[in-house]
C-alpha cells in the first residue's frame, strides 16, 4: 500500500500562497478572498462535529478570526486548508466540551449544506445511506466524530490530527478505529442490500 503523502509535501496553490502573503502584510481584501474560498468547507467541518447549524456558524466565524489573528505565524509554503480545518475541529470540540454545550439532534430533514469538496462516500452511497451515515455520525462520541471527520472527510494525517487535538497518534488511531466500527455496524444493513442490488444488475459481488 502506498504511503499517504505527509502534510509538508501537500501541493500548494501558488495563487493561494500569494493571497496569504498579501494577507500577512495586512491586505484585508486578500484575507476576505481566502475566507470566501474556504467558508463552505470550514462550515461543513464544524457542522459535522457540532451537529447544529447555528453553532456551526459561530464556530466557522471564530475559526477565521483565530486564523487571521495567527496568520503571521502561518507558513505560506504549506496549504491553508488543513490548517484552518484543524482550527475549526478544535474549536468545535471545545464547544462540545463546554458546560453550556447541549448536543442536540438536527430536526428531521434538516440536511447539511453542500461542501465545496465532494463527499468521499458520495459515489458509493445513495441518499438513504447518507442519511443513515449522518445519523450514525451524530451518535458517535464527539471525540470519535472529530477524528473521523478530520481523517476521512478532510484527509488530514494522523500527526496533523494529533497536533490539532493535543493527543497521541495512537489515541487518534484508536478513536478512528472505534468510530469506523460503529459506523460500519450502522451501515451494514444498507451496504448488504446495496451489494445485492449491484450483483443483481450484473455488477461485481
20 and 90 part of one domain: yes
In angstroms, the CA 118 to CA 103 distance is 26
Query: Within a domain: residue 48?
Result: yes
Read off the pTM.
0.73
For residue range 13-56, list pLDDT tens digits in order. 899 999 999 999 999 999 999 999 999 999 999 999 999 999 99
Annotate 21-52 with b (16+ C-beta within 10 A) or e (fewer): ebbeeeeeebbebbbebbbebbbbbbbbbbbb
Biggest CA pair distance of the chain: 60
What sign does the CA torsion over 185, 186, 189, 190 have? negative
What's 187's domain CATH number? 1.10.10.10
In which domain, by residue range, is 168 found? 119-205
Query: Within a domain: residue 103?
Result: no
63 and 135 part of one domain: no
For residue range 161-190, list pLDDT tens digits in order. 999 999 999 999 999 999 999 988 888 877
Residue found under cell 434538516: 110
Query: Within a domain: residue 32?
Result: yes
129 and 185 part of one domain: yes
Query: CA 73 from chain center: how many Å?
Result: 23
Amino acid at each position: 500500500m502506498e504511503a499517504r503523502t505527509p502534510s509538508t509535501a501537500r501541493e500548494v496553490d501558488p495563487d493561494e500562497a500569494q493571497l496569504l502573503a498579501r494577507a500577512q502584510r495586512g491586505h484585508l481584501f486578500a484575507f476576505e478572498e481566502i475566507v470566501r474560498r474556504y467558508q463552505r468547507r470550514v462550515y461543513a467541518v464544524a457542522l459535522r462535529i457540532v451537529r447544529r447549524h447555528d453553532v456551526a456558524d459561530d464556530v466557522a466565524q471564530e475559526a477565521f478570526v483565530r486564523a487571521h489573528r495567527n496568520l503571521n505565524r502561518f507558513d505560506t509554503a504549506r496549504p491553508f486548508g488543513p490548517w484552518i480545518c484543524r482550527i475549526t475541529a478544535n474549536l468545535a470540540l471545545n464547544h462540545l466540551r463546554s458546560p453550556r454545550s447541549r448536543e442536540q439532534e438536527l430536526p428531521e430533514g434538516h440536511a447539511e449544506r453542500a461542501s465545496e469538496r465532494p463527499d468521499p462516500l458520495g459515489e458509493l452511497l445513495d441518499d438513504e445511506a447518507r442519511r443513515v451515515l449522518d445519523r450514525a455520525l451524530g451518535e458517535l462520541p464527539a471525540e470519535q466524530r472529530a477524528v473521523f471527520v478530520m481523517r476521512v472527510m478532510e484527509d488530514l494525517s494522523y500527526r496533523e490530527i494529533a497536533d490539532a487535538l493535543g493527543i497521541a497518534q495512537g489515541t487518534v488511531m484508536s478513536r478512528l478505529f472505534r468510530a469506523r466500527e460503529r459506523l460500519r455496524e450502522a451501515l451494514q444493513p444498507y451496504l448488504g442490500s446495496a451489494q445485492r442490488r449491484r450483483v443483481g444488475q450484473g455488477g461485481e459481488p
